[in-house]
């Protein structure tokens, strides 16, 4: 059985949940949108920060902490954005860090999006 996590994030019209818990694992994908559902302006640093804030909010809404995160997949649209994203990302985690992969992609769901995060966290039984 899967259980959605109730968040205060923008209620998307797309058929999705911001996070699902199933089999003692939280699965989430986060994008750089604000409370009105708009992609934030200000380049990769502003978008990385918004994405990570949405991510942290979702983890906390599930009554977890960032220490419970086990894997993160980062998507950026240009290689030179990755060091900037890394700088912001490092503010949200401490050692031991989650397992992580980073991908440079041609584009994301919204043309103005520069980053996206997919992540998994362990949910205590």
Q: What is the pLDDT of residues 8-62, one digit of tens each?
A: 999 988 999 999 999 999 999 999 999 999 999 999 999 999 999 999 999 999 9
Give this prediction's pTM. Answer: 0.97
Q: Which long-range contacts (CB under 8 A, 24 or more apart) does 93-96 make?
A: 93/66, 93/69, 94/67
The fourth-level CATH superfamily of domain 17-122 is RutC-like (3.30.1330.40)
Average pLDDT along the chain: 97
Mean pLDDT for 79-89 is 98
Mean pLDDT for 80-106 is 98
Mean pLDDT for 87-113 is 97
Report the percentage of the chain scoring pLDDT > 70. 100
């Amino acid at each position: 059985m899967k259980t959605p996590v109730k968040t205060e994030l923008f209620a998307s019209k797309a058929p999705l949940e911001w996070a699902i818990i199933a089999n003692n694992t939280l699965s989430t994908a986060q994008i750089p949108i604000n409370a009105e559902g708009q992609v934030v302006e200000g380049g990769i640093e502003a978008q990385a920060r918004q994405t990570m804030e949405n991510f942290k909010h979702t983890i906390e809404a599930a009554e977890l902490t960032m220490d419970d995160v086990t894997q993160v997949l980062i998507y950026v649209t240009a290689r030179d954005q990755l060091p900037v994203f890394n700088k912001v990302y490092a503010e949200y985690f401490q050692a031991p860090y989650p397992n992580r992969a980073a991908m440079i992609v041609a584009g994301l769901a919204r043309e103005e999006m520069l980053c996206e995060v997919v992540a998994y966290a362990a949910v205590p039984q």
